[in-house]
Amino acid sequence: MTCLLYRKLRMLRARWVVCLTIFSLASMACSAEPLVVESALLRLTQQVEVPARAQGVISAIHVSEGDAVDQGTLLAQMDDVEARLLEGRAAIELQLNKEKVINDVEIRSAQRAVVFNQAEFKRVERASRDTPGSITISELEETRFRAEQAELDLEKAQHERRQDQLSADLKTKELELSQHNIDVRKIVAPINGVVVEVLRQPGEWVEPGEKVLRIVRMDRLRAEGMVHIRDLPPDLRGAPVSITMELPGKGETTFQGKIIFVSPEISPVNGQVRVWAEVDNKDGLLKPGLRPRMTIAPATVNQSADTAVGLNRQ
């Protein structure tokens, strides 16, 4: 009876400890102040200088500065007349080799010759054995030779067909290479973004690797700010962020994002740490170079309270 009462008291005490812990963490969550960076800096998350992938003359530019493009959009075209002619030639050669592979007349003819000559040799051999002297040794050896030669002709026909198949495979690769040479003369957008610079014009000669256009991504921007180490929670990554600033004609506008990166380096001068968040900018209202106010929600404390509640349920 005493042991049972003792266990009940221990369970009651444990529940009180958990309740006090949850209450303490909840109080911390309510009292925690958001981190505010008064002058964050908006930067691009991605920009690409699109190069030429082949040597040649630019025949057309299909976009201008300021055009919004999707990934895969044709930006510019290089002269591809020679590449298309080579593709046509490779396609014809491939078709010729396929016709050779399909055509099995030589193999069927060789198979029939084998059957006929083997039957002829057996007939002559049987006549020589049944009627001695009716077949000369020369005639017997000649029919044996024809039977063996027919088998060799069949092997040769089969070998030639395998070679035709390999030639067809080779022509298939040549056709794929010709198609690749056409594709690399198309300059396409590697990302979704806005064309901000056209560096080449139609009629200019370019080498592989030379930059033709520049594209920047605008649907997501990076907001960078500095936070003092004493204000930095243990794990800030993933914390929600609000970006607020005055926009012409719209007044104070707020955009949402989350912390993506917290620098492991601390400035020895002022004890600050660089953090940056990715911010949704689908409408394109925010511009790189602006300095909005960045507010970071205290997600870490709330997460700790949620963890304690989960432990209590277990």
Among 240, 237, 179, 304, smallest CA distance to 34 is for 240
Would 19 be classed as within a structural domain?
no
Integer Cα distance of 287 and 273 in angstroms? 24
Q: CB-based burial of residue 271 (10 Å sphere; 0-12 exposed, 13-18 middle, 19+ buried)?
A: middle
Could you give the number of structural domains in the chain? 3
Would 289 be classed as within a structural domain?
yes
Would 13 be classed as within a structural domain?
no
Among 279, 274, 301, smallest CA distance to 290 is for 279
Judgement on whether residues 252 and 176 belong to the same structural domain of the protein: no
Q: Which of 202-206, 274-278, 294-298 has the lowest mean pLDDT?
A: 294-298
Domain stops at, among 135, 165, 183: 183
User: Do strands 211-216 and 35-37 pair parallel, antiparallel, or not at all (unpaired)?
Assistant: unpaired
Q: What is the pLDDT of residue 22?
A: 44
Would 92 be classed as within a structural domain?
yes
The pLDDT confidence band at residue 133, using thresholds 50, 70 and 90, is confident
Would 222 be classed as within a structural domain?
yes
Would 273 be classed as within a structural domain?
yes
Judgement on whether residues 224 and 283 belong to the same structural domain of the protein: yes
Amino acid at 123: R
Among 307, 305, 300, smallest CA distance to 233 is for 300
Judgement on whether residues 294 and 204 belong to the same structural domain of the protein: no
Give the CATH number for residue 57. 2.40.50.100
Q: What phi and psi values does residue 267 have, to the nearest 5 degrees?
A: -70, 125
Q: What is the pLDDT of residue 18?
A: 42
Would 241 be classed as within a structural domain?
yes
Which H helix or E strand runs over 312? helix 299-313
Over the stretch 240-258, which tens digit does the pLDDT of each residue have? Answer: 999 998 888 888 999 999 9
Judgement on whether residues 133 and 264 belong to the same structural domain of the protein: no
DSSP string computed for 225-261? EEEEGGG--S--TT-EEEEEEEETTTEEEEEEEEEEE
What integer is the mean pLDDT of 100-120?
Answer: 91
Q: What is the pLDDT of residue 216?
A: 95
What integer is the mean pLDDT of 270-299?
Answer: 90
Judgement on whether residues 224 and 266 belong to the same structural domain of the protein: yes
Judgement on whether residues 55 and 120 belong to the same structural domain of the protein: no
Judgement on whether residues 197 and 72 belong to the same structural domain of the protein: yes
Whether residue 295 is predicted with pLDDT greater than 70 in this model: the reply is yes
Domain stops at, among 216, 232, 261: 216
CB atoms within 10 A of CB 178: 19
Give the CATH number for residue 303. 2.40.30.170
Domain span including residue 61: 47-78+187-216
Q: What is the pLDDT of residue 46?
A: 92
Q: Which residue has the tokens 């976009």?
A: 63
Judgement on whether residues 87 and 227 belong to the same structural domain of the protein: no
Integer Cα distance of 192 and 215 in angstroms? 8
Whether residue 299 is predicted with pLDDT greater than 80 in this model: the reply is no
pTM above the 0.85 mark?
A: no
Helix, strand, or coil (residue 47):
strand
Judgement on whether residues 247 and 276 belong to the same structural domain of the protein: yes
CB contact set of 298 (below 8 Å; sequence gap of 6+)? 29, 32, 33, 34, 35, 233, 239
Judgement on whether residues 177 and 100 belong to the same structural domain of the protein: yes
Would 12 be classed as within a structural domain?
no
32 DSSP assignment: P
Judgement on whether residues 172 and 94 belong to the same structural domain of the protein: yes
Among 121, 108, 112, 109, smallest CA distance to 148 is for 121
Whether the Cβ atoms of residue 82 and residue 185 lie closer than 8 Å to each other: no
Helix, strand, or coil (residue 278):
strand
Judgement on whether residues 90 and 178 belong to the same structural domain of the protein: yes
Domain stops at, among 168, 199, 216: 216
Mean pLDDT, the chain, as a whole number? 85
